[in-house]
Amino acid sequence: MASRLKKGSAIAAAVVACVSTFEGLRRVAYLDPIGIPTVCFGETRGVKMGDSYTVAQCKDMLGDRLVEFETGMRACLKAPDAIPAGAYVATLSFTYNVGTGAFCKSTMARKMNAGDIVGACNEFPKWDKAAGIRLPGLTKRRTAERALCLNGIPS
């Protein structure tokens, strides 16, 4: 499967910057707002309280996981390479945060597959809850992701 996250590419740099900014770096495991053990840049897979990592390990983990999430995201999209760069970066950030399954079942994915990129971008604000609770951090993230998604798309 193709990838737009080639090492050194502008898209790879943008996705890493986007996700790392939203997630923040925490080298020691903590409980996220809904009680899920989390570490590094929002990593939850296999995390146990007390785990700790170096900055280099966290960066490597983020890079590896972004490739995994990109593969899953692309599998749900009919023409992923036709998606404008800003929308692609925002959508991968979103997918990393909510999971591939949630993205693939979303109205956002359906609209992207129908070629309605603006409509897909306008779905971001609807995803500002975790466990049914609206979180200010997610509201801020979705607002920024929506803006990034719409960047460069003619209105």
Q: Which are the catalytic amino acids?
A: 23, 32
Closest C-alpha among 149, 151, 136, 150 to residue 22:
136
| 65 membership: H or E segment, kind and range | helix 55-75
Distance of alpha carbon 26 from alpha carbon 149, whole angstroms: 27
Closest C-alpha among 49, 56, 99 to residue 76:
99
Tell me the three state secondary structure of residue 46: coil
